[in-house]
Amino acid sequence: MHPTDRDRIVLAAVVFTVLFSQLLLYPGIATLVEALGADADAGTSPFAATELDASMWFLVAEFVGYVTFVGIWGVLSDVTGRRTPFVVAGALAGAVGYATLAVVPAIGSLSFDAVLVVRFFQGAMTIGAFSLTITMLMDLEGGHGRNMGAAGIAIGLGAALGAPIGGQLTGLSPVAPLFAAAALLVVVGTLVATLEDRAPETRRTPRALLEGVRRRPTLSIPYAFGFVDRMTAGFFALVGTLYFQATFGVDAATTGLLLACFFAPFALLQYPLGMLSDRIGRTIPIVVGSLCYGGGILLVGAAPSVLTAALAMILVGVLGALVSPATMALVTDLADDRERGVAMAGFNVAGSLGFLGGFLVGGVVAGRYGYDPAFLVVGGLEIAIAVVAVPAFLKLGLESSDAVERGDPNA
C-alpha cells in the first residue's frame, strides 16, 4: 500500500474515533445530565431549569469550547509547521475531560455549573484533535474531493455508529459513554503519534497567516454552507432526539437507530460523492444538494410514523453526503497550502457555530412554539442559503473544481 493511502486510512480512522466518541453521549443525553446533577440543581442553576435546558446547555458548552479554541489550534499548527504533536495533545487532554465528567456522580461534589466548565474544557481540547486531523488529510496528495470524502465518510460513520452504540451503553449506565469516549481518545493520541507530519515546513508569523486568509474572501462561501449544514446536524442531535421520543414514544436505543438512518448513508456515500465532486465541480453537489437537503428536513418533521420518519432520515442522509465532502473540498481548493490549518479552523468555527445555532435556535423554537415550526425554520434556512449562494457560484466560476485548485485567491 502506498504511504499516502495508508495515512489516509489511519487519519480517517482518527476522525471516525473522535466523532464516534462524541456521538456516544447524544441518545441518552437527558439521562446523562440527570446523573451529572442537573435535577439536583434545577432550582438554583439557570442552565438546569428543565430537562431540555440542561441537555441543551451541556451540548452548547462543548461547542463553545470548540469555537473558542479551534482557531488557536489552527494558528499554532500553521505557525510552527507541525500537526502531529498538537493532535496528540488535544486527544489526551480531551480524554482527561471525558474521564473527569465520568466520575462526577461518584464524587458528588460538583454543581451542574461546574460540570459545564469541565465540558467546555473537554470540547476545547477535543476540537484540536478533530480539526488538525482533517488538516492532515488536506496535506495529503490524491485529490481534494477524495481526501475530504475520506474525512466525510469517517465523520458520518462515527456519528452513525456512535448514536446507536451510545444508546446501548446508556442502558448499562448513564456515564458509560463518557468512560468509552475517554478510552477512545487515548487510542487517537496513540495512532496519530505514528504518522508522518506532512505540514508545509515554511513558517509564518500569526499576523501574516491571518492576513493571507483574509485575502481569500471566497472562503466565506464554504464557511456559510458549513454553518448551515452543521446547524441541521445540531438540530437533529438535540431537538430531533427529543422530537422522536416525544412524538413516537421511542426509547434511547430506538432513537439511536433513527439517527443512524441519517448517518449511515451520510457516511457510506461521502467518499464516492467526494470523488464525484472532483470530476463535476462543486456547484451542483453543494447548491442543488442543499436545496434538496432542506426539503428532506421538512419531510422528517412531517412524517406521520416511525417508519416514514426513518425513510425521510435516509433521504436526508443521502443528500447530506452529496453536500458535505464537496463543501470541505472547496475549503481545500481555495486555501493556500501554508494556511490550511487556519482555513480548516475557520470552517470548523463556522461549523461549531452552526451546531450551537442548531441547539439554541432549535431548542428555543421547539420549546416556545413546538416541533413543527422548529423543523420549518431549520429546513428553510438550508434552502435559503443555497438560493442566496447561486449568484456567487456562477459569478466566481466555482462550478469548476480545476479553476479553484489553481490557487487564485480571487477565484
CB contact burial 15-46 (16+ within 10 A = b; e otherwise): bbbbbbbbbbbbbbbbbbbbbbbbeebbeebe
More confident residue, 344 or 100: 100
| Distance from C-alpha of 366 to C-alpha of 354, rounded to nearest angstrom | 17
Give the per-residue pLDDT at 183: 96
Q: Write the single-letter amino acid at 377.
A: V
What proportion of the chain, given as a percentage, has pLDDT over 70?
Answer: 89
Q: Mean pLDDT, to the nearest integer, of 7-14?
A: 88
Per-residue confidence band for 404, with pLDDT thresholds at 50, 70 and 90: very low
Q: Which three cell numbers stand for residue 324?
A: 458535505
For the cut 60, the answer to whether the pLDDT of residue 403 exceeds it is no
For the cut 60, the answer to whether the pLDDT of residue 295 exceeds it is yes
Give the per-residue pLDDT at 129: 92
Residue spans of the domains in the chain: they are: 3-405
- Just give the CATH number of 3-405: 1.20.1250.20
Do 118 and 61 contact (CB within 8 A), yes or no?
A: no
Give the per-residue pLDDT at 407: 40
Give the per-residue pLDDT at 312: 94
Per-residue confidence band for 111, with pLDDT thresholds at 50, 70 and 90: confident
Give the per-residue pLDDT at 405: 47
- 176: nearest Cα among 31, 55, 279: 31
For the cut 70, the answer to whether the pLDDT of residue 42 exceeds it is no
* pLDDT tens figures, 258-275: 887 887 788 788 888 888
Q: Which three cell numbers stand for residue 382?
A: 438550508
* pLDDT tens figures, 155-182: 878 877 887 899 889 989 999 999 999 9
* pLDDT tens figures, 223-261: 888 888 888 877 887 788 888 888 898 887 788 788 878
What proportion of the chain, given as a percentage, has pLDDT over 90?
Answer: 23
Per-residue confidence band for 1, with pLDDT thresholds at 50, 70 and 90: low
Give the per-residue pLDDT at 400: 46
Per-residue confidence band for 411, with pLDDT thresholds at 50, 70 and 90: very low
Q: Which three cell numbers stand for residue 36?
A: 451529572
Do 289 and 322 contact (CB within 8 A), yes or no?
A: yes
For the cut 80, the answer to whether the pLDDT of residue 44 exceeds it is no
| Distance from C-alpha of 166 to C-alpha of 184, rounded to nearest angstrom | 13
Query: Mean pLDDT for the chain?
Result: 83
Per-residue confidence band for 211, with pLDDT thresholds at 50, 70 and 90: low
Per-residue confidence band for 304, with pLDDT thresholds at 50, 70 and 90: very high
pTM score, whole prediction: 0.72
* pLDDT tens figures, 351-402: 778 877 887 888 888 888 889 999 999 899 889 888 888 777 766 655 444 4
Give the per-residue pLDDT at 341: 74
User: If 0-12 CB within 10 Å is exposed, 13-18 middle and 19+ buried, where does residue 309 land?
Assistant: buried
For the cut 90, the answer to whether the pLDDT of residue 149 exceeds it is no
3-state secondary structure of 218: helix
The answer for residues whose C-beta is within 8 angstroms of residue 254's C-beta and 6 or more apart is 167, 244, 306
Least confident of 17-21, 212-216, 352-356: 212-216
Do 22 and 129 contact (CB within 8 A), yes or no?
A: no
CB contact burial 291-300 (16+ within 10 A = b; e otherwise): bbbbbbbbbb
Do 340 and 134 contact (CB within 8 A), yes or no?
A: no
- DSSP H or E stretch at residue 297: helix 289-302
- 144: nearest Cα among 397, 410, 411, 404: 404
Q: Where are the alpha helices (DSSP H) in 335-370?
A: 340-369
Least confident of 146-150, 212-216, 280-284, 376-380: 212-216
